[in-house]
Structure 1
């Protein structure tokens, strides 16, 4: 009998030792990214821990169907295993099974209400389903539990920046920056909160900070350049627009805005050059470029060119009353014959007379004047 007990104990110890060795080997393979071999090793262990590791390995490989099936198998053995439920919820979220993810995270927040991560991921499921009120409530709960929960603070800041609610956005953004002052995502949101509120001078240092932190991106330089432009720092605006064009020499907005910088700085020829470059880059809808070039030509007292560009602008958008009114007024200056002038104003009256009371009154008055002038000339 003693011999039998001894043999049983020895067999148990050998088996346990063998499983421990297999598990250690599997863990080593998993840790070094050798997931397929790790799965084969874990399969020989047969514990719930090894089953969980198999699910993780499939997830790491990118075989999400098998990973989900394995997680569900684990939970069929232990339905209360929070780590498995949490990881499966994130996997449902990744695979866009938002309803399944939502159910798991609701259950997890009910079981453990003081875990900020659970509330954050519940917020993510609501956000993906366009349920803004619920997602905001979940993110705010996460922040109430952990005031330094950066991802929740970011999502709250992002939402309010998008809604152009600057003060609400800054409440959450500044909380995050107090915890981690060099968080690029939050600095970007703070810059945009001011920028979208037309507070360009306040936005300036945050766009500069992004560049200091290595965010050498086209949109950062473009917005920084515009901030300098609005602050009448034309040289700095020019420098940053040129950076934009180094990154993307087909950015029509950068050419156009660089032209605007030169125009404001009274460098008329340079302004004309860059706005024309914007036209070369762009193909469709050049209304603003033609209007700008017409305005520059007017500044140079080149009425013939101004008329040409206003006519081109009118071709781009025949329904813009202001553009065609400019055609009329410039034609009025360019032509000497009152009959030719009259044809422009009458065309305006036919097309826009009923649409724009203010300009229509001005045009009607000018038509009367021209008719009177023609009448007396005939006499």
Structure 2
């Protein structure tokens, strides 16, 4: 080898070594900046590197996420995962951020793959459950079979793999609570508290479960524990006040209602409840005072409030709640034809059995067919049109069978 070539190679190695040292210095500096929260300068430093490695892309993504720039963070997470799809840490962080940004389709795809590749990882099932809780049950094709996966299934799987996974236990407990499976709520909650006795979400589940069942002593215990942990909210104080009242401890009930009124003094329902507690305790003058306050606050017709709320629920596709609030409006004003019609329409969107819906429309028309008011007769015409359509649909469905 000639002396010229040797010198050339030596210079080349020195240059490479110098470049590597410079890059290493830049990375160390950028890491230090990110470590102390100087994320913008860290990002600038990372971007001066000549090549974007998967690790650097991940660091930039994390820095953007810390700054709250989720769009840029997702872009760099995507680059990182694309260049190294087997990097589970980066993939998981990417998918979690997708959930937070409500990009559920892609997040669902990623966590389904992760649960298949790592079937014993409880958090992957928990994260998948978070998605399913929002988007609803999903159908997947697996080896030719159609599987329906629900949020409850995912949370239950996470808990079965890790009996200390507090977040999964809370979400599973919520599903039990909604289905009024109180024994399961309490069993799950007591298990969770063995790991973290101050988990306010679990304590809330237990408090509400016992309160709904009417086990007032147990409900009081958990509501008081929540307050001791700093969870002082009108919701908690109201239910604690009711539980004390049912136990006959009127002094403590009054004290809790007083705390609620400090936050919500314009709520007529709270004043009325407090008035009734004063009545039971024998303090009639204070009971009269709060009854009068409730009456003043309720001086405006409240059927319109219920009707407006019902219509908003209907527009938001929460049809069961819509039906409930139309019924409440009718309790206040039975003559509201729009609320009667609203019940039928909400049920039409909610009930699977269209024969039941048909009966509601028919009862509506029968009750209001003689209305001469233009607005009211309009509702009757709409109902009759829907009756005609439903009758045909039900008949056609019957002929197919």
Instruction: Tell me the residue number matched to 1:275.
Output: 291
1:137-164 Cα offsets, whole Å, 9 max, x none, are 1111111121100000010112212222
Instruction: Tell me the residue number matched to 1:94.
Output: 100
1:212-270 Cα offsets, whole Å, 9 max, x none, are 11112111111111100010111111111111112332232221111010122233332
Find the aligned partners of 1:82 and 1:318 in 2 and give their Cα distance.
Answer: 60
* Correspondence for 2:73 among 43, 67, 72: 67
The 3 A distance-change label for structure 1 pair 82 and 272 is same
8 Å CA contact 1:160, 1:166 repeated in 2: yes
Instruction: Tell me the residue number matched to 1:139.
Output: 155
8 Å CA contact 1:164, 1:197 repeated in 2: no
Instruction: Tell me the residue number matched to 2:8.
Output: 4
Find the aligned partners of 1:205 and 1:315 in 2 and give their Cα distance.
Answer: 35
Which one has a bigger Cα radius of gyration? 1
Instruction: Tell me the residue number matched to 2:243.
Output: 227
8 Å CA contact 2:136, 2:150 repeated in 1: no
8 Å CA contact 2:104, 2:131 repeated in 1: yes
* Correspondence for 1:116 among 103, 119, 122: 122
What are structure 2's unaligned runs of at least 5 residues?
A: 139-148, 304-329, 336-401
Find the aligned partners of 1:68 and 1:242 in 2 and give their Cα distance.
Answer: 48
TM-score normalised to structure 2 length:
0.69
The 3 A distance-change label for structure 1 pair 148 and 283 is farther
Find the aligned partners of 2:79 and 2:299 in 1 and give their Cα distance.
Answer: 57
8 Å CA contact 1:218, 1:247 repeated in 2: yes
Matched, 1:199 2:215: yes
TM-score normalised to structure 1 length:
0.73
Q: In the TM superposition, what are the counterparts of 1:138-157 in structure 2 within 5 Å?
A: 138-157=154-173
Find the aligned partners of 1:283 and 1:55 in 2 and give their Cα distance.
Answer: 56
Instruction: Tell me the residue number matched to 1:370.
Output: none
Find the aligned partners of 2:216 and 2:270 in 1 and give their Cα distance.
Answer: 17
SS in structure 2 of the partner of residue 215 of structure 1: coil
Find the aligned partners of 1:283 and 1:4 in 2 and give their Cα distance.
Answer: 95
Instruction: Tell me the residue number matched to 1:329.
Output: none
How many positions carry a matched residue from both structures?
295
Matched, 1:210 2:214: no
Structure 1 position 286, deviation (Å) = 6.5
Instruction: Tell me the residue number matched to 2:36.
Output: 32
Structure 1 position 112, deviation (Å) = 1.5
Matched, 1:20 2:24: yes
Instruction: Tell me the residue number matched to 1:260.
Output: 276
The 3 A distance-change label for structure 1 pair 19 and 193 is same
Structure 1 position 89, deviation (Å) = 0.7
Instruction: Tell me the residue number matched to 1:85.
Output: 91
8 Å CA contact 1:153, 1:175 repeated in 2: no
SS in structure 2 of the partner of residue 147 of structure 1: coil
What are structure 1's unaligned runs of at least 5 residues?
A: 288-313, 320-379
8 Å CA contact 1:43, 1:51 repeated in 2: no
Find the aligned partners of 1:281 and 1:44 in 2 and give their Cα distance.
Answer: 65
Structure 1 position 64, deviation (Å) = 2.3
